[in-house]
Structure 1
Amino acid sequence: MAGCVSLAALADELRQFDIPAQALDGALTQLADQADLRLLYPAELVAKLRSQPLTGRHAPEQALQILLHASGLSARKTAEHTFTVEAAPAKQSAEPQSAATMPAVSVVGEAVYDLNSPDNRDYAVRAAASATKTDTPLMETPVNIQIIPKAVLNDQQIIQMTDALKNVAGATVSHGSGGLSDDIFLRGFRSSTFFRNGFRIDSQFASIGTRQMANVERLEVIKGPAAIMYGRMEPGGMVNVVTKQPLATPYYALQQQFGSFDLYRTSLDATGPLSDDDTLLYRFNGSFESSASFRDLVDSERTFIAPMLTWNVSPRTQISLEMEYRHDNLIDDNNTWPYLNGGFINMPRSRNLMEAGKVRVEEKLIGLNWSHQFNDDWSIKQRFVADLLDNVQHWTSAAADTLLPGNLLPRSQTLIDGTHNTYFTTLDLTGRFATGPLAHTLLLGGDYYRVDHISDPYSAELANIDVYHPVHNADIVSPWVSAGWGGNNSADYIGIYAQDQIKLPHGLHVLGGFRYQYVKQWDNLSHTAQPVDDDVTPRVGVLWQAQDWLSFYGNYIENFGVSNQWAISASGKPLPPESAQQWEIGSKFEFFDGKFSATLAYYDITKQNVVTRDPNSPFNSNFSIAAGEVRSRGPEVDIRGELLPGWNLIATYSNFDTRVTKDNNGLQGNRLYAVPRNVGSLWSTYDVLGGELRGVKVGGGVTMRDGSTDGTGDNYQTAGYATVDLLAAYSWKVDKSKLTAQLNVYNLLDKSYFTDAYISGASSSRTIGTPRAFLGSIKLEF
Structure 2
Amino acid sequence: MTRVLFPPAPLFRQPSTPLARLACAVAFILHTAGPMAESRSQAFNIPPQALGSALNTYAEAANVQLSYPAALAQGKQSPGISGQYTPEQALRKLLGGSLIVARSTANGTVTLEKATQAAPAATPSNQTTLQAVKVTGAAEYAADDPRNTDYAVPSASSAGRTDTPIMETPMAIQVVPKAVIHDQQAIQVGDAIKNVSGVFQGQSFGGFAETFLIRGFSTNFNNYLDGFRWPASRLTLANAERVEVVKGAAANLYGRIEPGGMINIVTKRPQATPYYALEQQFGSYDLYRTTADATGALNKDGSLLYRLNIESLNKNSFRDFVFTDRVFIAPSLTWLISDRTQLDLDFMYSDEDTQEDYGVVASALTRRPANIPISRYLNEPSTDKSNTTFYNTAVTLSHAFNDDWKVKARFNYLNRNTVDPQIYGVFWDDNPSSPTYGDMTRDAYGSFAESETYYGNVNLSGHFETLGVDHKTLVGWEHYSGDSTLHTQSDPVNWGGSTINIFHPVYQPTDYSKLPNHYQDGSGSHSNGVYFQDQITLFGKLHILGGGRYDWISDAASGFDEPSPEVAYANRKTTNDEGFSPRVGVLYQPWHWLSLYGNYVESMGSANGATDINNKRLDPQMGEQYEAGFKTAFFDGRMTSSVAFYQLTKKNMAVGVPGKPYSEAIGEARSQGVEIDISGQVTEGLSLIGSYAYTDAVILKADFNEGKQLWNVPRNAGSLWAKYDLQQAALRGLSVGAGAYFQDTKQGDNANTFQLPGWGRIDALVKYTLPVARAKTTLQFNVENLLDHSYYIASSPFITTFVIPGQPRTFMGSVKVEF
TM range (shorter): 0.7 to 0.9
**C-alpha separation between the residues in 2 aligned to 1:166 and 1:40?**
56
User: CA distance change for structure 1 residues 490 and 348 in 2, over 3 Å: closer, same or farther?
Assistant: closer
Does residue 1:500 correspond to 2:534, yes or no?
yes
**Equivalence map 1:659-674=2 (5 Å):** 659-665=698-704, 667-674=705-712
- Which residue of the partner structure matches residue 643 of structure 1? 682
- Which residue of the partner structure matches residue 487 of structure 2? 456
TM-score by length of 2: 0.83
Query: What is the Cα deviation at residue 75 of structure 1?
Result: 7.2
Does the CA contact (< 8 Å) of 2:45 and 2:82 recur in 1? no
- Which residue of the partner structure matches residue 364 of structure 1? 391
Which sits farther off after the overlay, 391-400 or 597-606?
Answer: 391-400
Does the CA contact (< 8 Å) of 1:419 and 1:454 recur in 2? yes
- Which residue of the partner structure matches residue 355 of structure 1? 380
Does residue 1:226 correspond to 2:253, yes or no?
no
Does residue 1:764 correspond to 2:797, yes or no?
no
**C-alpha separation between the residues in 2 aligned to 1:499 and 1:560?**
17
Does the CA contact (< 8 Å) of 1:220 and 1:242 recur in 2? yes
- Which residue of the partner structure matches residue 271 of structure 1? 295
**C-alpha separation between the residues in 2 aligned to 1:379 and 1:472?**
61
- Which residue of the partner structure matches residue 90 of structure 1? none
User: What SS does the corresponding residue of 2:747 show, helix, strand or coil?
Assistant: coil
* Percent of pairs with identical residues: 38
**C-alpha separation between the residues in 1 aligned to 2:797 and 2:440?**
16
User: What SS does the corresponding residue of 1:306 show, helix, strand or coil?
Assistant: strand
- Which residue of the partner structure matches residue 200 of structure 1? 229
- Which residue of the partner structure matches residue 468 of structure 1? 503
Query: What is the Cα deviation at residue 554 of structure 1?
Result: 0.5
1:643-686 CA distance string (max 9 Å, x none): 11210011211000101111232x11111011111111111000
Does the CA contact (< 8 Å) of 1:130 and 1:198 recur in 2? yes
Structure 2 residue corresponding to 1:540, chosen from 584, 596, 600 = 584
**C-alpha separation between the residues in 1 aligned to 2:512 and 2:273?**
61
Structure 1 residue corresponding to 2:423, chosen from 387, 396, 399 = 396
Query: What is the Cα deviation at residue 345 of structure 1?
Result: 3.6
Does residue 1:55 correspond to 2:82, yes or no?
no
Query: What is the Cα deviation at residue 580 of structure 1?
Result: 1.2
**C-alpha separation between the residues in 1 aligned to 2:5 and 2:648?**
38
User: CA distance change for structure 1 residues 58 and 385 in 2, over 3 Å: closer, same or farther?
Assistant: closer
Query: What is the Cα deviation at residue 73 of structure 1?
Result: 9.4
Does residue 1:215 correspond to 2:236, yes or no?
no
Does residue 1:152 correspond to 2:180, yes or no?
yes
**C-alpha separation between the residues in 2 aligned to 1:102 and 1:640?**
38
User: What SS does the corresponding residue of 1:330 show, helix, strand or coil?
Assistant: strand
CA RMSD between the two structures: 3.0
Structure 2 residue corresponding to 1:629, chosen from 645, 668, 673 = 668
- Which residue of the partner structure matches residue 412 of structure 2? 385
**C-alpha separation between the residues in 2 aligned to 1:72 and 1:746?**
54
Letter in 2 for 1:350: S
Structure 2 residue corresponding to 1:125, chosen from 153, 167, 173 = 153
1:705-744 CA distance string (max 9 Å, x none): 1011134434422210100000000002422101000001
- Which residue of the partner structure matches residue 481 of structure 1? 516
User: CA distance change for structure 1 residues 442 and 627 in 2, over 3 Å: closer, same or farther?
Assistant: same
**C-alpha separation between the residues in 2 aligned to 1:50 and 1:481?**
58
- Structure 2 unaligned runs (5+)? 7-35, 67-77, 89-102, 111-127, 558-567
- Structure 1 unaligned runs (5+)? 1-11, 18-37, 85-99
Query: What is the Cα deviation at residue 60 of structure 1?
Result: 11
User: What SS does the corresponding residue of 1:55 show, helix, strand or coil?
Assistant: helix
Structure 2 residue corresponding to 1:557, chosen from 598, 601, 608 = 601
- Which residue of the partner structure matches residue 646 of structure 2? 603
Does the CA contact (< 8 Å) of 2:189 and 2:235 recur in 1? yes
Which sits farther off after the overlay, 137-146 or 104-113?
Answer: 104-113
Does the CA contact (< 8 Å) of 2:441 and 2:499 recur in 1? yes
**C-alpha separation between the residues in 2 aligned to 1:223 and 1:567?**
28
Letter in 2 for 1:653: Y
User: What SS does the corresponding residue of 2:249 show, helix, strand or coil?
Assistant: coil
User: What SS does the corresponding residue of 1:154 show, helix, strand or coil?
Assistant: helix
**C-alpha separation between the residues in 1 aligned to 2:591 and 2:674?**
23
Does residue 1:734 correspond to 2:772, yes or no?
yes
1:440-459 CA distance string (max 9 Å, x none): 01111010011101111102
**C-alpha separation between the residues in 2 aligned to 1:687 and 1:650?**
15
Does the CA contact (< 8 Å) of 2:270 and 2:334 recur in 1? yes
- Which residue of the partner structure matches residue 92 of structure 1? none
**C-alpha separation between the residues in 1 aligned to 2:230 and 2:38?**
49
Does the CA contact (< 8 Å) of 2:4 and 2:65 recur in 1? no
1:423-471 CA distance string (max 9 Å, x none): 0010000111100110001111010011101111102634432322222
Query: What is the Cα deviation at residue 299 of structure 1?
Result: 1.0
1:138-186 CA distance string (max 9 Å, x none): 1111111111111000000000111111111111112333432111111
User: What SS does the corresponding residue of 2:569 show, helix, strand or coil?
Assistant: coil
Does the CA contact (< 8 Å) of 2:581 and 2:603 recur in 1? yes
Does residue 1:436 correspond to 2:467, yes or no?
yes
**C-alpha separation between the residues in 1 aligned to 2:603 and 2:387?**
35
**C-alpha separation between the residues in 2 aligned to 1:625 and 1:745?**
50
**C-alpha separation between the residues in 2 aligned to 1:47 and 1:703?**
49
**C-alpha separation between the residues in 2 aligned to 1:451 and 1:69?**
39
Does the CA contact (< 8 Å) of 2:245 and 2:262 recur in 1? yes
User: What SS does the corresponding residue of 2:179 show, helix, strand or coil?
Assistant: helix
- Alignment coverage as a number of residue pairs: 723
Does the CA contact (< 8 Å) of 1:247 and 1:283 recur in 2? yes
User: What SS does the corresponding residue of 1:339 show, helix, strand or coil?
Assistant: coil
Which sits farther off after the overlay, 264-273 or 503-512?
Answer: 503-512
TM-score by length of 1: 0.87
**C-alpha separation between the residues in 2 aligned to 1:79 and 1:346?**
75
Does residue 1:421 correspond to 2:469, yes or no?
no
